[in-house]
Amino acid sequence: MFGVIEMLSKVPSVNGILSKKKKSWSTTLPFLLMMAPGIVVLIINNYLPMMGIIMAFQQYRFRDNFFVSVLNSNWVGFANFQFIFNNPALWETLRNTILYNLTFILLGMIVPVAAAIALNELLNKRLAKFYQGVTFMPFFLSWIIISYVVFAIFQTSGAMNTMILTPLGLNTRDWYRTLGAWPFILTFFNLWRYTGYNLIFYLAALSGISKEYYEAAMIDGAKKHQQIWHISLPHLRPIIVILAILAVGRIFNSDFGMFFNLPMSRSTLFPVTEVLDTFIFRSMRGAVDLGRPVAASFFQSVVGLITIISVNFIVRKVEPNSALF
């Protein structure tokens, strides 16, 4: 009898359980309220537009509003995808998209990592902050503004011809007809704009490394390049891998503003500047049937999803701690 009473005394009462639930709700409710605006924006911007995927399988014709148009458009299955894949411009566009992104991913890791290590090694921290601010400033400029800077440099009477080539006794060029120059121009301005932004992640990771590691390495006689190779880079590896996975997941996406504005929509430059995002935009702008550009965009999203899952799977097998999920 006394044993049963003792057991029952150890069982939490209903009031105790309810009080704990109330306490848990009182602690989590403020955080849920803080998340609510972001969740609403996410649903409106990312999930509701997914209804438009059905247009990729229809011969879409607009009537009154979107819902009426979807219900009354003819179902064509994969005909829109066949039209897109039979377009010879698509494969040239895919080639440009993949090659540009691979270049941006590679240089986007090497240059910011090197710059972050260099700034981290500066003894004058005020000077390091100044350099960091200077490199980060281009990120706040619009690609439209940058496109006019590029135009002022590379137009026929621009700075490249009048201030560099002519004084050196070299022939001037019409740079907006020189296809071979634009992969380098686009790569340079992509690095110029985004290096300062990517620098923040690597500097934050470097600032978290204990100084004791470097002090112990100096006592053991390790030189500066050995400290960087054996201490700095291993601590940067997780963030490098995560950013690389995210970048590879966007390998079929491009910076629309850069590729659309910098070449000034010159059709002569399309063979080296047209990427999948600009291809979809121009197809949608001039298309009578919107199902075709929607099919191209849907293909872009599906392949990007498969890419990021595949890369993350490989990373998880090789180094589980560095995987994104």
Report the CATH number that the domain containing residue 142 is assigned in CATH.
1.10.3720.10
Mean pLDDT, residues 194-208 taken together: 90
* CA–CA dist 131, 157 (Å, integer): 32
89 φ/ψ angles, rounded to the nearest 5 degrees = -70, -25
- Residue 164 reports pLDDT greater than 70: yes
Token readout for 158 is: 């621009």
Distance CA 91, CA 244 (A): 25
**1 has a pLDDT exceeding 80:** no
For residue 2, pLDDT over 50 is answered with no
**18 pLDDT more than 50:** no
pLDDT for 79 beyond 80: yes
Q: What mean pLDDT is predicted for residues 57-69? A: 81
Does residue 211 form part of some domain?
yes
Which pLDDT score, from 0 to 100, does residue 272 have? Answer: 93
Report if residue 71 sits inside a domain.
no
Domain assignment present for 110: yes
Q: Whole domain around residue 173: which residue ranges? A: 90-286
Is residue 59 situated within a structural domain? no
3 state SS of 291: helix
Confidence of residue 147 (pLDDT cuts 50, 70, 90): very high
**Per-residue model confidence (pLDDT) at position 7:** 47
Q: Is residue 324 part of a domain?
A: no
Contacts of 77 (CB under 8 A, 6+ apart): 57
Residue 184, pLDDT > 50, answer yes
> Where does the pLDDT of residue 250 fall: very low under 50, low under 70, confident under 90, or very high at 90 and above?
confident
- Domain assignment present for 254: yes
**pLDDT of 262 higher than 90:** yes
Arithmetic mean of pLDDT, 3-19: 48
In a domain, 165, yes or no: yes
Tell me the residue ranges of DSSP E strands in the chain: 58-59, 74-75
What is the count of structural domains for the chain?
1
Answer yes or no: is 295 within a domain.
no
